[in-house]
Amino acid sequence: MTVSDVLNEGRACIECGSQAHRLSDGREAYPHRGDLHAKPFWFCGCGAFVGCHPGTTNALGAPAGKRTKRGRTDAHKAFDRIWKSGDMTRKSAYAWLAEKLGVPAKDCHISFMDGDTAYRVVSICQERTEALRQAARQSKGAE
């Protein structure tokens, strides 16, 4: 594989593993988002797709399908709730999450996760949020 293949075709599709991707634009990716219509997107034959770094046709990562994208969005929300609550810094929250998932912290990027991992993140984060909520309730009761 040459460097330009890497840049232009991105990584193997998360959903099907194919590396043959076709360049299209936002009209195909997000028909209802007029603001994205002019932006380039790489499409896999299975329907998964990925956007590009601003001003380039270099893929942001591997193409992903709807379930994966939804999972990542939910994972980001659940995860942000943890560090935005002040329970942990964002950095230590990532270290905590990586440990829970059993992956190296440097590989712990929600934006690159497959659907199953993203949904694991959602439940791991929800458990912690719930545990903190209960702890807060108990310490209130003890006062």
13 touches Zn ion (CB under 5 A): yes
Taking the complex as a whole, how short is the minimal distance between the CB of residue 113 and Zn ion, in angstroms?
16
Q: Map the footprint of Zn ion across residues 32-51, applying CB under 5 A.
A: 44, 46, 48
- Positive or negative CA dihedral for 75, 80, 82, 88? positive
CB nearer to Zn ion: give 21 or 128. Answer: 21
| HSE value, Cβ hemisphere, 13 Å, CA-based, for 16 | 12
Contact (CB, 8 A) for 36 and 26: yes
One-letter identity of residue 133:
R
- Applying CB under 5 A, among 16, 95, 135, 136 the residue interacting with Zn ion is 16
Residue closest to 63 by CA, chosen among 74, 49, 79, 84: 49
Q: Select 9 or 15, whichever has its Cβ closest to Zn ion.
A: 15
CB of 45 to Zn ion, least distance (A): 6
Nearer to Zn ion, 1 or 38 (CB): 1
Closest CA to 63 of 111, 5, 119: 111
C-beta of residue 93 within 8 angstroms of C-beta of residue 82: yes
Stretch that binds Zn ion, among 6-14, 30-38, 84-92, 107-115 (CB under 5 A): 6-14
Choose which of 9, 10, 15, 68 interacts with Zn ion (CB under 5 A): 15
- What residues make contact with Zn ion under the rule CB under 5 A? 13, 15-16, 18, 44, 46, 48
